[in-house]
Every structure is written in C-alpha cells, then in structure tokens.
Amino acid sequence: MAAFTKYRFWRGDGPGVQQSTTALIKVITDTGDDKVSTGTTDSILGLAYGYESRTWYRWAALRHRFNDENDAGLRRGNKTLFDLVGGIRMKRTGYLEPDTVWLLELNGEFAQRVELNGAAQMNTGGNEWFVSPGIFWTLRNFAVKAGVQIPITSDLNERQEKTDYRAKVVLEWHL
C-alpha cells in the first residue's frame, strides 16, 4: 500500500493550454506477505513539469526512490527515475465525455547497488532505458493510464539478467 501526494507550486494558463510544475512525495509501506515482503518502508521524492493543451501533451519528471534497510540488513539500491512523455489527443471532447490521449514515453532508471550489512553486492545496480507506448483515458475525475515498457538499452553492473518488458495499469480518482 502506498500514500501519494503532490503540490503544484507553479501554474501558467494560456488560451487552451495549461503548464505546471509540481513537487511530489510517495511513501510505500511493507504490506506484502512473507513471499513478497520487502520488510521496508520506502519513499519517493520528485519534481514534474507538465504541458497540457487541447491537442498536445508533454511531461517530464525526475524522481528519486529511497529504499530502507530491512531487519536482515538488506538495503535494495536507491533509484533515480527519469521520464519524458509526449502525447496527442486525436479527438477533442467536452468535460462530460470520455477523453483519450495516446502517449509515448522515454523512461530511464539509474539504480545503485544493493547492500547487505553495509557491503555493496556484486551483480546489482546499473542503468536501463525503456520506450513506453500507452494510453491515458479520463472521464471527469476518474482516470485510467495503461502502458508497456519495452527495454531499449541497459548498462547493468557485472552479470545481471536484463529486464524484460513491463506492463502497468493505474486507476485514479481525483478528489
């Protein structure tokens, strides 16, 4: 389970365009069972910029994930995450109608090494880049974002299996 909030500290409005800059924080608790539990509470801090018009979308985000140490002395490596997103709305709709934006993302992950009792572990950490086609569908204050991350390059430390594709669906309710 995670708690997430963001604060928009700058907003610029123009005819049919809204731009904003946001700070965000997310706290990820350890709510898994023994098979999937990390034994930690982790957090993410970041900044994001967004441009939304009636046709075009673009976003950029830079986040850092801080991973805690569990009772066994294991600390998964912290990660810096970079996202660059472009989107297009093919059909303009009204507020009460469903709205669809097609997205294409470039995602980068820069992972530090895993540590066990303070000692860096071999075959951990490194960098990966993904291209991610997706869709953003909204109806008033409800949203669904779905996409697939496809790895395009990686520079992992020592011998590690490269990441396969990833799929994700996010459901949002804006209050």
pTM: predicted TM-score of the whole model, two decimal places: 0.86
Model confidence at 33: pLDDT above 80: no
Q: Domain locations in the chain?
A: 46-173
- Over residues 69-125, the pLDDT tens digits come to 998 899 999 999 999 999 999 998 887 899 999 999 999 999 999 999 999 999 999
Distance in angstroms (rounded) separating the CA atoms of residues 84 and 68:
27
- Over residues 43-84, the pLDDT tens digits come to 999 999 999 999 999 999 999 999 999 988 999 999 999 999
What residues contact 88, with CB distance under 8 A and at least 6 apart?
55, 56, 57, 101, 102
pLDDT score of 45: 98
Q: Contact at 8 Å (CB) between 113 and 76?
A: no
